[in-house]
Copies of this chain bind each other. A is one copy, B any other.
Amino acid sequence: MIFSSDNWAGAHPSIAAGLSARASGFDPAYGNGDLDRAVARRFNEIFEREVAVFFVGTGTAANALSLVSADKPGGLSFCHRESHLIEDECGAPEYFMGGSRLFGVDGSLGRIDPGALASAVGRFAGDNVHAGRPAAVSITQATEIGTVYSIEQIRDIAAVAREHALPLHMDGARFANALVSLGATPAEMTWKSGVDMLSFGGTKNGCWCAEAVIHFDTARAKEFGFIRKRAAQLFSKSRFIAAQFSAYFQDDLWLETARHANAMADRLAGHIRHSGAMRLAWEPQANEVFAIMPPVHAQALQDKGARFYDWLTPHGFDGVATGEKLWRFVTSFATTQDEVDRFGDLIG
Contact = CB atoms under 8 A, between A and B. Distances in A.
Interface of A: 2, 4-5, 7-13, 15-17, 19-20, 22-30, 56-61, 64-65, 68, 72-76, 87-92, 94-102, 123, 127, 129-133, 203-204, 208-209, 223, 225-237, 239-240, 307, 312, 314, 334
Top 9 closest pairs, chain A to chain B, by CB: A95-B99, A74-B226, A7-B236, A61-B232, A98-B98, A94-B99, A16-B23, A129-B229, A60-B232
B232 A233 contact: yes
Contact of A8 (B17, B27, B72, B100): B27
A42 B23 CA distance: 25
A184 to B, nearest CB: 26
Contacts of A91: 74-76, 99-101, 132, 230
B8 A24 contact: no
Contacts of A24: 10, 13, 334
A231 B232 CA distance: 9
A198 to B, nearest CB: 17
B4 A95 contact: no
A8 B28 contact: yes
A89 B12 CA distance: 33
Nearest to A63: B232
Contacts of A8: 26-29
A129 B90 contact: yes
Given A5-B29, A13-B23, A19-B19, A234 B97 contact: no
Nearest to A11: B23
A95 B2 CA distance: 39
B234 A129 contact: yes
Contacts of A208: 19, 23, 237, 240
Contacts of A4: 26, 28-29
A237 B130 contact: no
A27 B7 CA distance: 8
Pick the most buried of A24, A27, A132: most chain B CB atoms within 10 A of its CB. Answer: A132
A219 to B, nearest CB: 13
A209 B226 contact: no
Contacts of A87: 130-131
A117 to B, nearest CB: 14
Given A7-B237, A28-B8, A29-B7, A230 B58 contact: no
A13 B232 CA distance: 26
A58 B232 contact: yes
A23 B76 CA distance: 37
Contacts of A312: 123
B58 A234 contact: yes
